[in-house]
Amino acid sequence: MPSLTVPLRERAYTVHIEPGFSGLGPTLQGEGVRRVVVVTEPVVANLWLSTLISELEGAGILVQHQVLALTEATKTFDLWRECVEGLLELGVDRRTVVVALGGGVVGDVAGFAAASVLRGLRIVQVPTTLLAMVDSSVGGKTGINSTKGKNLIGAFHQPMLVWAPVCALQTLEEAEYLAGFGEVIKIALVADAALFAELEVHAAPLLERSPDALMAVIQRSVVLKAEIVASDEKESGLRMVLNAGHTVAHGIEAASGFQWRHGAAVAVGLVAEARWAERQGHAAGVVERLVPLLRRFQLPIDAPETRAESVLVAMRLDKKNADAMLIVPVPVEVGRAELIRHPISQLAELIEGLSCVAFNPSC
């Protein structure tokens, strides 16, 4: 099955894109893993925890687990502390491996806990959502939300391995599944015109959840992200293009009390930032292709009932702010983005015209 390496010298690791969980146990056994603690949340635990435990125990690995009430709204110090204290209560040592089983929130919190406990435990990411498979499980970003904004507290902590069981995507509710395409479309928009064109022409099998189509799109998305991460691990330059749409998206998420799904908010952010870029003389023709593609995947393009002032407050706390300027990844054409410095005092320009589609938190 498709697998690839994220080439980070001594921190290099493999991303396995697999039909299911079979093979993960022997793979970890071959890496010398003898004991793991699985961190997950209730819905995923009900669906996949027993399958994962059987796979790992079948390879002679001791398995313990934590099931936490992890959502974007609860991705706070309290849940991180509960995760950390739980790991310590289980008596983990530096040979213990944490396994994050779930979507992006699980990966964020479990990854940050692993980075913190005993000054760093190894972590395996086992993403079960499309968004996590194509984006958050790869690259080592971990963290939690502050009362001031999203993902403002965290660490870069690369996994030892990523295992993406594509079968898990068949159990996602429709809105969660479709939200993942916000990140797929984002990386195509900023880094791969051919992938963008493929999505325009061949959306049907993806909407039908064809395993073959999904494996191909996940693999291409991960290849693109791995190349960018390898060239800029700590997000000091090129990697910032992966934040396209995210400045506005994080503002929308925070302003709505994290009721928006991340991928849906990213879709709105991409449109807002592309519209802004066109007004600045960049990105000619991008919006006219981006909006129909987002609609094809049933993603929102506006957030009219989100209070603009609340979005702006969150945007001013964006991690990419420096010296009263915000670094905005701008799609100058489909498949290529550039980083543009924009005055924080003029952030309102980025969210002009966010209206048309009714605000729907379930997106």
Q: What does the pLDDT look like over 186-217, one tens digit per residue?
A: 999 999 999 999 999 999 999 999 999 999 99
119 carries an active-site annotation: yes
Q: What is the CA radius of gyration of the chain?
A: 19
Q: Is 262 in the active site?
A: yes
**Known catalytic residue at 186:** no
319 is catalytic: no
Using DSSP, state whether 320 is helix, strand or coil.
Answer: coil
Tell me, yes or no, if 235 is annotated catalytic: yes
pLDDT band at 281 (very low <50, low <70, confident <90, very high): confident
Give residue 12's Cα distance to chain centre: 19
Q: Which of 122, 157, 220, 246 is catalytic?
A: 246
Indicate which residue of 243, 253, 273, 275 is catalytic.
243
Alpha carbon distance 20, 39 (integer Å): 18
Select which of 261, 262, 319, 320 is catalytic.
262
**8 A C-beta contact, residue 48 and residue 168:** yes
Q: Which residue has the higher pLDDT, 302 or 116?
A: 116
**Residue 320: which pLDDT band, with cuts at 50, 70 and 90?**
low
pLDDT at 356: 39
What structural domains and CATH numbers belong to the chain? 3-171 (3.40.50.1970), 176-351 (1.20.1090.10)
What does each C-alpha distance from 151 to 1, 156, 160, 225, 256 come to in angstroms? Answer: 33, 12, 22, 19, 15
User: Residue 297, Cβ neighbours under 10 Å: how many?
Assistant: 20
Question: What percentage of the chain has pLDDT greater than the value 90?
Answer: 64
From the candidates 18, 55, 72, 183, give the one annotated as an active-site residue. Answer: 183
pTM (two decimals): 0.91
Give the separation between CA 163 and CA 137, rounded to whole angstroms: 9
**Is 202 one of the annotated active-site residues of the chain?**
no
Mean pLDDT of 124-131: 98
Q: Is 342 a catalytic residue?
A: no
Task: Give yes or no for a contact between 124 and 97, defined as CB atoms under 8 angstroms apart.
Answer: yes
pLDDT at site 353: 63
Instruction: Give the pLDDT of residue 229.
Output: 82
Q: Is 307 known to be catalytic?
A: no
In this predicted model, what pLDDT tens digit does every residue of 67-90 receive, in sequence order?
A: 999 999 899 999 999 999 999 999
Catalytic residue among 75, 122, 141, 275: 141
Single out the catalytic residue among 75, 157, 220, 225.
Answer: 225
Task: Output the average pLDDT for the chain.
Answer: 89
Please pick, among 150, 239, 319, 320, the residue that the annotation labels catalytic: 239
